[in-house]
Structures are given as C-alpha cells and as structure tokens.
C-alpha cells in the first residue's frame, strides 16, 4: 500500500460546488468575494481546491448564492452504493415520528410508565453523547412516539415531566440529523424541540432548546441573532446563590461557550474572548468536568479549553489553535461526541500550519473516539482532500482513511 497512487476527485469538493453555483449566477470571483466579505485570494484558493472551505465561508457563500448549505457541502454523505451508511435507512422512521406532536399516535401497546420511559430517555442521551448514531436512530422514533402518546394520555398537571423527556429525545434527534447532514429535518426537529421545552416546567429545558436552535444560526450565518437569543436566555436563567447553582451554572457556562463560537464565526474576537472568559470563570468555580447530566450540555475546564481552540480556528488562527491544543489533555470522561469533534477541528488548524501528518493523526483520533460522527462531518472530507492534494503518493494510513470514508472525496 505504501506509495500507492490515491485517485480522488475535486469535482465533489465544496470549492468546486461553490464555483459552479457562482458561475450559474454569472458572478465573477471578484464580485463574489466582495459580496461574501472574504478576500479574492481566498475565494480563488477555495474554488481551486487549494484551501478548505470553512463553515463561515460556506455559510456566506450559500446566503449569497441563494442555496442551501448542503447544496455546497454535498451532504448527506454515503447514501448509496456499497458505502451506504445504515443511518440513512433509519431517517424515514424519524420523519414519521415527527408528524405526531399536537395529536397522539396510535400505538399497538399502551405507553410504558414514566420511570421506564425516563430510563429509556437517559439511554438515548448516552447514545448521543457517545455519538452512536445508528443505535440512537434505532431507538428514537419509537421512544418519541411513545412519549408523545403518553403526554396526551395523562392529566394535564402531569404532562410537564413527559415534555422534559421529549425535549431530551428531540435534542438527541437534532444532534444526529445535523451531524449526518439532514439539515431540513434538523430544522423541523428544532421547532419541535422549542415546542416541547416550552411545555416543560424546567426553564433549563428552554435553554437546551435555544442552544439547539443556534445550530441553524451557525449554519446559515445568523450569528448576531444567535448571540441575542443566548444573551436573553442568560438573563432568564441567571443563577443565584441557591441550591440550584450547581444545576444552573453548567448550563450558563455552556451558553457562554456557544456564544463564543457565534462571535468567533462572526469575526468578533473581542466578544468571543469575553464569553470564553466568563465560561472559564464559571468552570473554575465548579471545578470538575461535567458531562451535562439531565440537561445534556457538556461543561467544565476541559470543554472551555477545547472551545478556546475552536474559536482560534473560527478566527483562522491556525498556529494559535495548535499551540493551545498542545496544552490540553483530553480526559476519558469527556463525551466522545465532544472529544471527537475537537480532533476534527484541530486537524484543520494543523493543516493550515503545514502539518499534514498531524492533521491525519487527529482524524484518526476522531475516528477512534466517534467514528460515525467523524465520517459525516464536511471538515473530515475537506481536510483529507487537502492532504491528498499535497501528497498524491499516499502512505498506508492515508489510504486506509480514504477507504474508510468511502466513495470519492
């Protein structure tokens, strides 16, 4: 395998898709660069496949060209042929489950009791944190329909706790649909998530729904709206020195981390750093890393450091991101969904710094931690494409990674 020629196609790259869409609009590269507020040099490099397209670049391009982001990324991936991912076969079941919300589904058996449904919901949350998309999708549709039926069957005074469970399940559904590139379905889930959270008595479920809602804002470039939404939530859930502090502070810290990403993607380094500083203050106060628990949002000192790296990447500071990443020791307790995403992000910064070997190593780390997530992220394919472009004669590790991704990249 060493020295084998790896054949790949730039035609399926994001840059080529952007170029094709731009030409359909009879827009020059110079006009396009001006409208999306990126340099002409970067536009040329992205379209030629010499530079990977960042999420902020793709969002700006999609908005300018009037297309969905997935039109440019090519998602969902691996839907057909020998490399077809099993998760695609399970999406129709989720679509069906989502049709039931204001009306109950008819089930063959009555819903299980609340305690049994709670245990099943927590299991689904664990599958989400472990990025086990296939097992999660095998579980979610039936569980969501059962919870919906149960919420309609009990007296109104008891419904709130069923809506808490449904909110957690919808958050998991939102994660898997977004990560696998079903952004149309992910938007539907966002609406259902907000609806369910509003019927829960727990204000932190509303914060969870808002965090999820900002995913589409990150995707479409609506950064300022996302920041306003999270700022409003911070004022609502602002913890006081009460017994609720230990529950509310991790959620508040997670919202600050999300705000740092929105600000960084908007190019506002000062705002990003301010939110990171507040998150770091909360993390120091709490001490240990926290997997999110009932409210799902991972928070703690390690996740703050990971977001420091991620914001440097969003601000296109590759060397700064790599330097910060060297100071992080990822604990085994960090959920694979978060740790895996970190290594995919880091691979981009390493690539920018000229460390192709390090970038490939990080992709392998991400694959080890969260294989189903890593395979579906556009960044994985973009980084691999860049590595292949500079190393047509691959080593065995690169060839194996390309084969594992499946199809042309």
CA distances from 22 to 14, 44, 61, 149 (A): 12, 12, 9, 47
Q: Kindly give the parts of the chain with pLDDT less than 70.
A: 1-12, 81-83, 239-243, 392-394, 407-409
Between CA 141 and CA 148 the distance in angstroms is: 11
pTM of the model: 0.91
Residue 299: DSSP 8-state:
B
Provide the 10 A C-beta neighbour count for residue 86.
Answer: 12
Between CA 46 and CA 29 the distance in angstroms is: 11
Residue pair 279/260 in contact by the 8 Å Cβ criterion: yes
Identify the pLDDT of residue 6. 37
Identify the pLDDT of residue 3. 40
Which of 337, 299, 339, 293 shows the shortest CA–CA distance to 168? 293
Residue pair 383/52 in contact by the 8 Å Cβ criterion: yes
Q: pLDDT tens digits, residue range 284-329?
A: 998 888 877 888 888 999 999 999 999 999 999 999 999 999 999 9
Identify the pLDDT of residue 112. 94
**Which residues lie below 8 Å from residue 227, measured CB to CB, with a gap of 6+?**
259, 262, 263, 266, 271
């Amino acid at each position: 395998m060493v020295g084998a020629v790896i054949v790949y196609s730039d035609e399926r790259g994001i840059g080529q898709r952007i170029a094709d869409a731009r030409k359909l609009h009879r827009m020059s590269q110079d006009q396009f660069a001006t409208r999306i507020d990126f340099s002409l040099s970067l536009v040329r490099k992205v379209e030629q496949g010499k530079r990977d397209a960042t999420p902020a670049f793709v969002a700006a391009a999609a908005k300018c060209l009037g297309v969905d982001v997935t039109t440019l990324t090519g998602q969902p991936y691996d839907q057909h042929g020998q490399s077809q991912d099993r998760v695609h076969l399970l999406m129709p079941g989720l679509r069906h489950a989502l049709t039931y919300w204001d009306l109950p589904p008819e089930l063959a058996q009555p819903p299980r009791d609340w305690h049994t449904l709670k245990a099943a919901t927590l299991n689904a949350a664990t599958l989400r944190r472990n990025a086990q998309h296939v097992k999660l999708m095998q579980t979610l549709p039936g569980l969501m329909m059962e919870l919906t039926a149960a919420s309609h069957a009990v007296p109104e005074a008891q419904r709130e706790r069923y809506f808490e469970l449904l909110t957690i399940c919808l958050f998991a559904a939102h994660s898997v649909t977004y990560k696998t590139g079903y952004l149309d379905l992910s938007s539907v889930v966002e609406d259902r998530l907000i609806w369910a959270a509003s019927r829960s008595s727990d204000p932190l479920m509303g914060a969870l729904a808002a965090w999820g809602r900002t995913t589409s804002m990150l995707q479409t470039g609506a950064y300022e709206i996302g920041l306003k939404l999270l700022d409003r939530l911070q004022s609502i859930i602002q913890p006081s020195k009460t017994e609720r502090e230990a529950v509310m502070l991790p959620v508040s810290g997670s919202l600050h981390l999300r705000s740092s990403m929105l600000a960084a993607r908007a190019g506002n380094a000062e705002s990003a750093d301010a939110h990171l500083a507040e998150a770091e203050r909360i993390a120091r106060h709490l001490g240990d890393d926290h997997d999110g628990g009932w409210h799902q949002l991972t928070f703690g000192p390690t996740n703050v450091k990971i977001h420091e790296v991620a914001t440097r990447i969003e601000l296109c500071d590759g060397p700064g991101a790599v330097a910060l990443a060297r100071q992080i020791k990822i604990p085994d307790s960090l959920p694979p969904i978060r740790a895996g995403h970190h290594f995919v992000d880091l691979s981009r910064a390493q690539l920018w710094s000229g460390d192709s070997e390090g970038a490939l190593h990080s992709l392998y780390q991400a694959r080890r931690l969260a294989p189903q997530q890593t395979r579906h992220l556009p960044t994985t394919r973009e980084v691999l494409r860049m590595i292949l472009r500079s190393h047509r004669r691959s080593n065995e590790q690169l060839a194996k990674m390309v084969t594992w991704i499946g199809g042309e990249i």
